[in-house]
A and B are shown apart, each in its own frame.
Chain A
Amino acid sequence: MITLRNLTKRYGEVTAVNGLDLEVRTGKVTGFLGPNGAGKSTTMRMVVGLDLPTSGQALVGGRRYADLRWPLREVGALLDAKAVHPGRSVRAHLLALAHSNRIPVRRVDEVLETVGMGKAAGRRAGGLSLGMSQRFGIAAALLGDPPVLLFDEPVNGLDPDGVRWVRQLMRSLADEGRTVFLSSHLMSEMQLTADRLVVIGRGRLITDTPMRELIAGGSSVSVVCPDAAGLAALGARLPGSRAVSRDELLVPGATTRHVGDLAHELGVRLHALRENEVSLEQKYMELTENAVEYGAAR
């Protein structure tokens, strides 16, 4: 479990993280979302003690990261896939990490197999593609078999196969009872992966909710009917509905079953009847509308 208590980070005048209170729970994939510059990476860096909070605390299992005796066995964090010495081999990098935390050397080969890099162990880290570097970084995070894992944009640069692999890996790590804290800008991917979502903007918490709640309660039904009279008759029986074009009606909060039954009862001819699910992307855009730090002119 990761606990943030009033966590704040200021760089001179700029407040990157502003009084963040949060609990990232065990056994779940918690998605961490926010526009560029919202403070996601800074927050993660403070959790593992790379950046020092201006005030407040970041705790892992109730303890400060610096107080963990063998931190890599308790927290695995992939924060920057390219942050390795380019001239050092993949294996030597992992070997040094293993030595530093008294992790058995066989784990090095195990995690390389896990991420599908068994054959790349001798390659220099600088020669890896971004996708390979991500796999390499995930291997390093998994090295100590830690119960808490943080991943900052782990699917950047991965091919579709790799993206799917990361999704399944995150799910299985959470199902094993681990805490998985994951940031990504790929909304569709996040929607498939995360159980819970934390959204921040301009360093502040915007929401911390289960995924299901976040994307529920915004769905609507679209009805396409070629007869103007039929459409009007349907509209009259569906309060809150509005015509979005000459032959289409949008009914917020309705179900296709209800609208379909009604059309049958009224004898109205339909060309289409479909449910519009709210996507995470839409919901995210609404939530962060006022919190975009670096946005293009619209």
Chain B
Amino acid sequence: MMQELRAAVAAEWTKTWSVRSTWGTLAASAVLMMLVSAQLAVAHENNNTNEITTDDAGMTTAGAIAIESFAMLQFVLFTAAVLLVTTEYASRSIGWTLQAVPVRGRVLAAKAAVVAPVMFAAGAAVCLLGALAAKPLLGEWGTLDGLAYDMFATGVYSAAGGVLSIGLSLVARSTATAITALFVLLLLLPVLLSAAGSPLAEAFPSIAGDHFMNGDTTEYPLYAALLIILAWTAAAVLAGLRLLKTRDA
């Protein structure tokens, strides 16, 4: 049982790194995180030093700036996970995947076992890069305090989001559908609900992720935020597994 799973993970690992899209999306995430973090840092510094006093935000941390950028850019990172599934359907190479590993649950477990650590590392890395880009531009208004937690929390959220993306992509099968679904789930719905003043927004994974990464306990404790994220991830995985088992490849 474990041998078979290890072999399946090794295959997924090889597949993950032998296509350009993985390298491309990860590199794009890193570059965009640095650019957007730099932009946000400039804006923060500017708000504090301009003549308008109402927009002064005071001190911040470089990590907080990076997390703010990450909230906008998480799709780019998750696209790497989405493509690992959807390109298999687009190219019909899912056939080889399932011929090699006919146990559907094992295929999903192997993909998740590759995506989770890769996304953890990528999330932590882009958080660090964003913070490093922001720090010099914040000048006296930003520190590197709490950066270790920020990186860890962004990594954890990214790992969960990556696995969620795998589950969602197995349901959607096509890249366009999967990215759209991800966009609606992580951005559109929570933003609309929160604009309408609905407390339901707090139950969405991206909002819970925001609280979790920012260490913000005003709505609920951090463990509750993490549980919300993991519940959505589990739901997406179960939906993906169910369809993987019952639909023809």
User: A50 interface residue, CB < 8 Å from B?
Assistant: yes
Which of A49, A52, A75, A84 is in CB contact (< 8 Å) with B93?
A84
User: B175 interface residue, CB < 8 Å from A?
Assistant: no
User: A72 interface residue, CB < 8 Å from B?
Assistant: yes
Contacts of B91 in A (CB 8 A): 83-86
**A85 adjacent to B93 (CB under 8 Å):** yes
Size class of A's contact patch?
35 or more
Contacts of B99 in A (CB 8 A): 48-50, 71-72, 75, 77
Which of B4, B12, B14 is in CB contact (< 8 Å) with A92?
B14
**A96 adjacent to B92 (CB under 8 Å):** no
**B21 adjacent to A99 (CB under 8 Å):** no
**B98 adjacent to A50 (CB under 8 Å):** yes
| Contact of A100 with B10 at beta-carbon distance under 8 Å, contacts A50-B98, A66-B102, A66-B103 already known | yes
Which of B7, B8, B95, B246 is in CB contact (< 8 Å) with A83?
B95
Contacts of B12 in A (CB 8 A): 96
Most buried by B among A69, A70, A77, A97: A97
User: A87 interface residue, CB < 8 Å from B?
Assistant: yes
Which of A68, A70, A96 is in CB contact (< 8 Å) with B18?
A96
User: B192 interface residue, CB < 8 Å from A?
Assistant: no
Residues of B within 8 A of A (CB-CB), count: 30
Contacts of B101 in A (CB 8 A): 71, 100
**A51 adjacent to B249 (CB under 8 Å):** yes
Contacts of B4 in A (CB 8 A): 69-70
- What 0/1 pattern do residues 85 to 124 of A give for CB contact below 8 A with B? 1111100110111011110000000000000000000000
| Contact of A83 with B11 at beta-carbon distance under 8 Å, contacts A49-B98, A72-B100 already known | no
**A99 adjacent to B88 (CB under 8 Å):** no
- Taken together as a complex, chains A and B put the C-alpha atoms of A17 and B98 apart, in Å, by 21
- Taken together as a complex, chains A and B put the C-alpha atoms of A72 and B97 apart, in Å, by 11
- Taken together as a complex, chains A and B put the C-alpha atoms of A12 and B246 apart, in Å, by 15
User: A79 interface residue, CB < 8 Å from B?
Assistant: yes
**B8 adjacent to A100 (CB under 8 Å):** yes
Contacts of A140 in B (CB 8 A): 96
User: A82 interface residue, CB < 8 Å from B?
Assistant: yes
**A50 adjacent to B95 (CB under 8 Å):** yes
**B102 adjacent to A95 (CB under 8 Å):** no
Closest residue of A by beta carbon distance from B18:
A92
| Contact of A82 with B92 at beta-carbon distance under 8 Å, contacts A71-B99, A71-B102, A101-B100 already known | yes
User: A65 interface residue, CB < 8 Å from B?
Assistant: yes
| Contact of A88 with B15 at beta-carbon distance under 8 Å, contacts A50-B98, A72-B99, A83-B91 already known | yes
Closest residue of B by beta carbon distance from A66:
B102
**A102 adjacent to B7 (CB under 8 Å):** yes
Contacts of A99 in B (CB 8 A): 7, 10-11, 13-14
Which of B7, B13, B87, B248 is in CB contact (< 8 Å) with A51?
B248
User: B3 interface residue, CB < 8 Å from A?
Assistant: yes
Contacts of A175 in B (CB 8 A): none
User: A80 interface residue, CB < 8 Å from B?
Assistant: yes
Min distance, Cβ B169 to any Cβ of chain A, angstroms? 15
Which of A45, A70, A96, A102 is in CB contact (< 8 Å) with B14?
A96
Contacts of A96 in B (CB 8 A): 11-12, 14-15, 18, 100
- What 0/1 pattern do residues 1 to 41 of B give for CB contact below 8 A with A? 00110011011111100111100000000000000000000
Contacts of A93 in B (CB 8 A): 18, 93, 96
Min distance, Cβ A157 to any Cβ of chain B, angstroms? 16
- Taken together as a complex, chains A and B put the C-alpha atoms of A69 and B103 apart, in Å, by 10
**B95 adjacent to A88 (CB under 8 Å):** no
**A71 adjacent to B96 (CB under 8 Å):** no
Contacts of B88 in A (CB 8 A): 85
Closest residue of A by beta carbon distance from B87:
A85
**A89 adjacent to B18 (CB under 8 Å):** yes
- Taken together as a complex, chains A and B put the C-alpha atoms of A209 and B197 apart, in Å, by 73
**B7 adjacent to A100 (CB under 8 Å):** yes
25 residue pairs of the A-B complex, CB under 8 angstroms, read: A49-B99, A66-B102, A68-B102, A69-B4, A70-B4, A71-B99, A75-B99, A77-B99, A79-B95, A82-B92, A83-B96, A84-B93, A85-B87, A85-B93, A87-B19, A87-B87, A92-B14, A93-B93, A95-B14, A96-B12, A96-B14, A100-B7, A100-B11, A100-B100, A101-B7
A residues contacting B by CB (< 8 A) are 45, 48-52, 65-66, 68-72, 75, 77, 79-80, 82-89, 92-93, 95-97, 99-102, 140
* 10 residue pairs, one from A and one from B, having the closest CB atoms: A100-B11, A92-B18, A83-B92, A100-B100, A99-B10, A96-B14, A50-B249, A51-B248, A66-B102, A99-B11
